[in-house]
Chains A and B, each alone.
Chain A
């Protein structure tokens, strides 16, 4: 499985010499198949190298108009990726944005709250709020970047559904939500040490002393 058949997307033009083996049904430019088994990627020409960042298109609609007017520079990006719209906002602005979206733009269903860990970045975590509007039949995401140790305001004040979702984010990432009514772990035991979905937490790692004390066994790993 070591040889690479790049699932190249829209950005790069197929290099000359790509044979017609693979393409077909796929809606976008199908992957140009490099000549049979080949040495690691570096050996062949550069173009198929996929871009290192998300290739997005700008998002412009009545929603963005209202939000731009209201929040101006607090929202740094309106983009669409794979047909899904999202915005990137400053951490302090997220709750007012959710409120505006709910009260004025009908985004009344908070689908999910989650986080993504980028340990090498100064603002370590991405917070992701997924919203849906029944009236518009539209789904959007609100994203924000927060540093480790920062306590974002809770979304429970806007959507009750955020309660357990934020508890899970706390449980897995150690992000404390300010003003949350019940900021405790939810899936792991309360005394558990460590936050499993942080990148430095290895897949084999666990809280050995908790396991020893409470289950009376040595770590199974």
Chain B
């Protein structure tokens, strides 16, 4: 090894973000470049830090529920589900079957909405302008269902500890079914635009490879892990909310590159509609709210509960001291942990691929920074 020179003229440090259209929010990445090659990166995060965990300690269990929607704001329903399940675990109650079925329906719709937003923006980053319009058009239909159900489109606060606040509206089942029938051809349409598109394939194949072992080492979960060939999905591995009653497959791929993560997410949207079809056909009748006391005071103890959010494992670790407020509330956000692997994925690649890789990780900065 030659001794390092005083000034390495071939190395260039450039700053990407926090205001950059391809970082999907306020993410700052410092890139160390040698020509077009990336020698290393450093992520600077925290621009959106609001102290969610501190707020959690200062609100009652019910008061805190709306706050979780503001973390991963494109998948607010999943955040709410994880939080409700965690508190229910501490209380040792379960939502009634009807509530669970409606929860599954809304969560799967939200998974589709989240993946659609990912696909649109990811394609836009790569240079395909068309898909984003299509994706937002389809996502709109999902948001309309949310709006009809609970009045909100994004930060829904759809669930309550112990079940649901609202009964489903007239025609809910039909609307979801209609959406499924209408949506599947749309997915085919996106695939027609992208899957065999030479530019798309050229930009994604072999880019940002993360092997299964590396995923486990970095704690990376969700579609990124599945694209590396690990058929692991919490809905199957440790079913919650009655996911064990539905038939669906865990899509996987082999290479763990950006293209594989694309195919995995596309297939996940199809699988979600499969779950939706089964769920709307057999929503049981009965109450929508379990027997939860008005004042939620879980017994002294702690629990970690996690769900398969669209981006990976979303966990809540709550410590209760038998008061109305959590003693400690920890959120294990998938985006934060997945983002850590960014450096590993871009190192040695081209600077243009950084954009593709940030897109493929599907991070939401509200959740990274909390």
- Chain A residues packing against B (C-beta within 8 Å): 1, 3-11, 22-28, 30-31, 50-55, 81-82, 84, 108-112, 114, 116-117, 128, 130, 134, 137, 139, 141, 159-161, 163-165, 168, 172, 185-189, 196-197, 201, 203
Show 18 residue pairs from A and B whose CB-CB distance is below 8 angstroms, ordered by the A residue: A4-B295, A6-B297, A24-B291, A26-B92, A26-B94, A27-B94, A50-B299, A52-B300, A54-B300, A81-B303, A111-B304, A111-B315, A112-B304, A112-B330, A114-B332, A165-B337, A196-B51, A197-B57
Closest Cβ–Cβ distance, residue B256 to chain A (whole Å): 15
* Chain B residues whose CB sits within 8 angstroms of the CB of A114 once the complex forms: 317, 330, 332
Report which of A7, A81, A111, A161 forms a contact with B293, defined as CB distance below 8 A: A7
B 264-301 contacts with A by CB, 8 A: 287, 290-301
* Chain A residues whose CB sits within 8 angstroms of the CB of B245 once the complex forms: none
Q: Which of A1, A82, A128 has the most CB of B within 10 A?
A: A82
User: A interface, by DSSP: helix, strand, loop or mixed?
Assistant: loop
Query: Cβ of A117 and Cβ of B217 under 8 Å apart?
Result: no
Q: Is B322 an interface residue (CB 8 A)?
A: yes
Query: Cβ of B294 and Cβ of A161 under 8 Å apart?
Result: no
How many residues of B are counted as interface, with CB atoms below 8 angstroms from the partner's CB atoms? 56
Query: Cβ of B230 and Cβ of A134 under 8 Å apart?
Result: yes
In the bound complex, CA of A128 to CA of B219 (Å) = 16
Query: Cβ of B304 and Cβ of A108 under 8 Å apart?
Result: no
Query: Cβ of B53 and Cβ of A172 under 8 Å apart?
Result: yes
Query: Cβ of A112 and Cβ of B294 under 8 Å apart?
Result: no
Instruction: Give 12 A-B pairs besides A7-B293, A81-B303 with Cβ atoms closer than 8 angstroms.
Output: A4-B295, A50-B299, A82-B89, A109-B219, A111-B313, A134-B230, A137-B237, A159-B217, A159-B219, A161-B337, A161-B340, A197-B53
Closest Cβ–Cβ distance, residue B250 to chain A (whole Å): 13
Report which of A3, A25, A187, A189 forms a contact with B94, defined as CB distance below 8 A: A25
* Chain A residues whose CB sits within 8 angstroms of the CB of B242 once the complex forms: none
* Chain B residues whose CB sits within 8 angstroms of the CB of A108 once the complex forms: 216-217
In the bound complex, CA of A103 to CA of B219 (Å) = 16
With A22-B291, A112-B315, A134-B216 as known contacts, state yes or no: A84 contacts B303, CB within 8 Å.
Answer: yes
* Chain B residues whose CB sits within 8 angstroms of the CB of A110 once the complex forms: 219
Q: Is B168 an interface residue (CB 8 A)?
A: no
